[in-house]
Amino acid sequence: AIPLVVAISTAVSAQNGLLIRNRTAFEESRKITALLFDKTGTLTTGVFGVTRFETAAPGFTKEEVLRLAGALEQTSEHPIAVGIVRKIKELDIRIPEAEAFNAITGQGVEATVEGRAVKVVSPGYLKENNLAVPEGAVSSKAETVVFVLVDANVAGYIALADAVRPESKGAIETFKRNNIRVFMATGDNKTVAEAVSKELGLDGFYAEVLPHQKVEIVKQLQDKGEFVAMTGDGVNDAPALAQADVGIAIGSGTDVAAETADIVLVNSNPEDIAHLILFGKATYRKMI
Ligand code: ADP
Ligand code: MG
């Protein structure tokens, strides 16, 4: 006979865009007291549009800044990369080839383009390397800003924005009604994180987080007595997913993250987690 829990969790999965990889995960989901979400593509749509692109050094036009960034970003799968490449195609700018492409974990990408060392990086990367943020790049608006470095000088910057997922609001209301605290950990800047947190009424957020720091955040919440579920993507989130009481890999995540996770969230939709928790609570209430 098929154990009841397996039968139930299979039914939940089929209906709700969830892949339950670990038999106890369904049972554990009803114990969740805190959720730690990633932002991009989970609480937000992950569809970035370029809002501005600017030059910050003599010798570079704003189109040149975008073109050099595009050379790197056509190799990257990051939502920021997809947004930048889409803008370049709209403007009919030809993208040059990139060589020796490398991802800088949680901070950006680098490669050689036309013999020059080009990087597209986060504000955190500039800070760490004592590079000044160009005037105008700091905005009070909730924009994700990445900087284009050419031979270690800031040539310009690109600002992008995505929107909160329409499904996030309802999901968070459900969590709150069930006494589950909701937090967000993102590699993005504080202004963006704060705006998303405010819009969704989150209990707290962590901004400019590097992938290895997510494990510490999960541990901190656990030390406070929380039973923590965490969503994540990519190879870099795997240790934090393993540390969480319930690890939830998002659908577009890599195989490594999915292997570490208890649950795979196929459509990256927070509402599917809300359904899972409610269904888990209802099921075990009936069984006891
Ligand atoms: P999150 O998933 O929370 O957005 P990531 O770790 O994926 O965080 O990215 C953190 C930051 O690193 C981004 O906000 C951006 O500044 C920078 N970054 C990462 N990948 C890229 C990329 N391909 N191009 C430009 N910037 C990137
Ligand atoms: Mg990410």
What's the pLDDT at 31? Answer: 94
Domain ranges of the chain: 4-45+163-287, 49-161
Tell me, in angstroms, the distance from the centre of ligand 2 to residue 12's CA: 27
Q: How sure is the predictor about 253, in pLDDT bands with cuts at 50, 70 and 90?
A: low
| Mean predicted lDDT score pLDDT of the chain | 91
User: Active-site positions?
Assistant: 38
What pTM did the predictor assign? 0.91
4-45+163-287 shares its CATH topology with 49-161: no
Question: Of ligand 1's atoms, which has the minimum distance to the CA of residue 73?
Answer: 23
> pLDDT of 167-215, one tens digit each?
999 999 999 999 999 999 999 999 999 999 999 999 999 999 998 999 9
Tell me, in angstroms, the distance from the centre of ligand 2 to residue 8's CA: 31
Residues facing 197 on adjacent strands = none
What's the pLDDT at 176? Answer: 96
Whose Cα sits closest to atom 16 in ligand 1?
A: 122
49-161 has CATH 3.30.2310.20 classification: no
Q: Which fold has domain 4-45+163-287?
A: Rossmann fold (3.40.50)
Q: Taking 70 as the threshold, does the pLDDT of residue 158 lie above it?
A: yes
Average pLDDT for residues 137-166, to the nearest whole number?
94
Calpha distance 269→233 (Å, rounded)? 13
ipTM summary value: 0.97
* Strands 228-232 and 34-37, bridge-based pairing: parallel
Q: Strand, helix or coil at 247?
A: strand
What's the pLDDT at 21? Answer: 81
Give the distance from CA 45 to its chain's centroid: 10
Kindly provide the b/e burial profile for residues 176-197, where b requires at least 16 CB atoms within 10 angstroms of the residue's own CB: eeeebbbbbbbbbbebbbebbb
What's the pLDDT at 139? Answer: 77
Pocket (CB within 6 angstroms of ligand 1) = 38-40, 73, 76, 78, 80-81, 106-109, 120, 122, 144, 146, 186-188
Closest ligand (CA of 108): 1
Tell me, in angstroms, the distance from the centre of ligand 2 to residue 125's CA: 16
Tell me, in angstroms, the distance from the centre of ligand 2 to residue 206's CA: 14
Q: How sure is the predictor about 147, in pLDDT bands with cuts at 50, 70 and 90?
A: very high
Question: Of ligand 1's atoms, which has the minimum distance to the CA of residue 233?
Answer: 2
Q: How sure is the predictor about 160, in pLDDT bands with cuts at 50, 70 and 90?
A: very high
Q: Within a 10 A sphere around the Cβ of 112, how many other Cβ atoms?
A: 16
